[in-house]
Amino acid sequence: MNHDRRTDSDAVLSLLRDALGGQAVVTDSDILDVHRYDTAKFCEAGTPLALVRPSDTAQVQEVLRIAGRHGVPVVTQGARTGLSGAANAVDGCILLSTSRMNRVLEVSADDQVAVVQPGVVNSELSRLVAEAGLFYPPDPSSWEESTIGGNVATNAGGLCCVKYGVTADFVRGLEVVLGTGEVLRTGRRSTKGVAGYDLTKLLVGSEGTLGVITEITLALRPEPETSLTVAATFDDGRKALQAAARIMAAGLQPSLMEFLDGTTARAIQDYRDMGLPAAVDGILLVQSDRGDRAPQDVATMGQICADCGAVDVAEASDAEESRMLLEARRLVNSAMEALGTTLVDDVAVPLSRLPDLLTGIGEISRDLGVTIACPGHVGDGNMHPTVIFDREDAEAERRAVQAFDRVMDLGLRLGGTITGEHGVGLLKTRHLEQELGPVSMRLHRGLRQVFDPLGVLNPGKLFTPEPDETPPVAPEDGAVRSAP
């Protein structure tokens, strides 16, 4: 956003207050400071002009119209649990928080859908639909905090996604306010529907760059049957990953398959006593939720782990023990942060290449002398190699960034991706073209221009414009004209 097109901040604040009411427009510098960042503390953040909390779609439209007219960037924020800097402030921006748009509008058992506002927290929706005997499977480890709007905008995955699919698989339709202030409705409530391009899928994972999502229609499923969990420990993490690939290939449909390498398991145990063994190189947690078939499933899964060289295979004896194991998994991020500054990578590779990924990461760690912990949703081939370092030590930081980059190169070489679920944000902007190539990048830039011709939505995130691209300005009459 050019400085010469940014008009008087006071005028913008005054227009925002008129449109939303004074309470919904926050300029207190302490509050703004807290809202500058998401959870990827390593990424840079600018200084916002204001934080606004619209309460409905019409107010979101007003914010975007004001922003467009005055050339002010808009960064949408859910719960700011993102791990890529995608929700970080840019200088002079309006932070648009969805915290007041937090109502579940409908849960329909007949149609197996829920209609929600974007600020609804994932776990609240999950519990509410469970009361109606229904199930909303996408469950990022951040589910107690992260919002459905944020989940949709990042296409979040989670622990159950190995069996049921990621957020995109559950989004039927969206209401979205575009950068121009217009309202777009995509998709439908019915299970099937192929009319037109799939704009819903395009918007899922768009990281706040194509529009502000104001309403979401989600598919639900019947509640799963009773589940059982098995935990297998290995003296070599590669063997655990071979077991993971074999369990998936056996068609056992695990409802969860998580890997903790030795460094991660010890970090969790040091952070909180969860009964995890200390002297291991890998732990595989696998669950079956197939009710009567679950005991046979976990027995077969356990046997596969033993065949692959597990030193111990233990079935959780009851639901409480199962819950403890999963709770241990959900502590990963906090446990890592207790060790130092973290750079969380998010590569995903084909299942058969997981052992090679682990070997390659071990080599990078030794070459550069950095600690890299490796937890992952390995049933999806998704690993979160986490570089832990001391931010006060410039040399350690340089090596950490090098390690982070090399892990992405390795993921791509193994036929995978630089991000399985956390998104690109600011953290991986410079790596996107490496995965997508120039033709795809040109189409991405073109699509962004179509959805956000004024260039107000989350500038600098996901990818940067070509140097000669100057967004047009919306004059007072609202018509969009090309920049001179």
Strand partners, 313: 232
Min dist. Cβ of residue 39 to ligand FAD (A): 4
Residue 157 in the binding site for ligand FAD (CB under 6 A): yes
Phi, psi of 175 (to 5 degrees): -115, 130
Tell me the C-alpha distance between 332 and 326, whole Å: 10
Residue 375 in the binding site for ligand FAD (CB under 6 A): no
In the Cβ-directed half-sphere of 35, how many Cα atoms lie within 13 Å?
26
In the Cβ-directed half-sphere of 331, how many Cα atoms lie within 13 Å?
20
Phi, psi of 129 (to 5 degrees): -70, -30
Pick one of 115, 156, 301, 343: the residue that binds ligand FAD (CB under 6 A). Answer: 156
H/E stretch holding 398: helix 394-413
Residue 382 in the binding site for ligand FAD (CB under 6 A): no
Residue 151 in the binding site for ligand FAD (CB under 6 A): yes
Residue 456 in the binding site for ligand FAD (CB under 6 A): no
Residue 421 in the binding site for ligand FAD (CB under 6 A): yes
Sequence length of the chain is 484
Residue 385 in the binding site for ligand FAD (CB under 6 A): no
Tell me the C-alpha distance between 438 and 378, whole Å: 30
Report the 10 Å Cβ neighbour count for 136. Answer: 26
CB 237 within 8 A of CB 372: no
**Residues of span 194-213 touching ligand FAD by CB under 6 A:** 207-208, 212-213
Min dist. Cβ of residue 213 to ligand FAD (A): 4
Residue 459 in the binding site for ligand FAD (CB under 6 A): no
Pick one of 55, 59, 61, 77: the residue that binds ligand FAD (CB under 6 A). Answer: 77
Nearer CB in complex with ligand FAD: 107/332: 332
Instruction: Return the structure tokens found at 64.
Output: 């975007």
Nearer CB in complex with ligand FAD: 238/329: 329
Tell me the C-alpha distance between 276 and 272, whole Å: 10
Please write down the long-range contacts of 198-204, taking CB distance under 8 Å and 24 or more positions apart. Answer: 200/171, 200/172, 200/173, 200/174, 201/168, 201/171, 202/447, 203/152, 203/174, 203/176, 204/152, 204/153, 204/155, 204/167, 204/168, 204/171
Nearer CB in complex with ligand FAD: 40/304: 40
Nearer CB in complex with ligand FAD: 176/313: 176
**Can you tell me whether residue 148 is helix, strand or coil?**
helix
Q: Using CB under 6 A as the criterion, what x/- string covers residues 213-232 for binding ligand FAD?
A: x-------------------
Q: Using CB under 6 A as the criterion, what x/- string covers residues 8-47 for binding ligand FAD?
A: ------------------------------xx--------
Position closest to ligand FAD via CB: 150
Nearer CB in complex with ligand FAD: 166/304: 166
Phi, psi of 274 (to 5 degrees): -115, 15
Residue 142 in the binding site for ligand FAD (CB under 6 A): yes
Nearer CB in complex with ligand FAD: 149/187: 149
Question: Where does residue 431 fall: left (phi above 0), alpha (psi -120 to 50 degrees), or beta otherwise?
Answer: alpha
Phi, psi of 115 (to 5 degrees): -115, 125
Nearer CB in complex with ligand FAD: 308/344: 344
Min dist. Cβ of residue 64 to ligand FAD (A): 11
Min dist. Cβ of residue 314 to ligand FAD (A): 24
With CB under 6 A, what is the number of residues at the site for ligand FAD? 36
**Residues of span 226-285 touching ligand FAD by CB under 6 A:** none
Pick one of 48, 54, 68, 78: the residue that binds ligand FAD (CB under 6 A). Answer: 78
DSSP per-residue letters across 206-247? -TTSS-EEEEEEEE-EEPP---EEEEEEESSHHHHHHHHHHH
* Nearest by Cα to 189 from 201, 176, 173, 208: 173
Choices 6-14, 135-143, 225-233, 428-436; region in contact with ligand FAD by CB under 6 A: 135-143
Nearer CB in complex with ligand FAD: 86/383: 86
Choices 80-88, 292-300, 411-419, 448-456; region in contact with ligand FAD by CB under 6 A: 80-88
Nearer CB in complex with ligand FAD: 276/424: 424
Give the list of residues 6+ apart from residue 135 with CB closer than 8 angstroms, or none: 126, 129, 220, 221, 222, 223, 224
Please list the helix, strand and coil fractions of the chain in percent, rounded to the nearest 5, in that order. Answer: 40, 20, 40
Pick one of 82, 92, 385, 471: the residue that binds ligand FAD (CB under 6 A). Answer: 82
Q: Which residues bind ligand FAD (CB under 6 A)?
A: 38-39, 75-83, 86-87, 98, 118, 140-142, 146-147, 149-151, 153-154, 156-158, 207-208, 212-213, 333, 421-422, 458
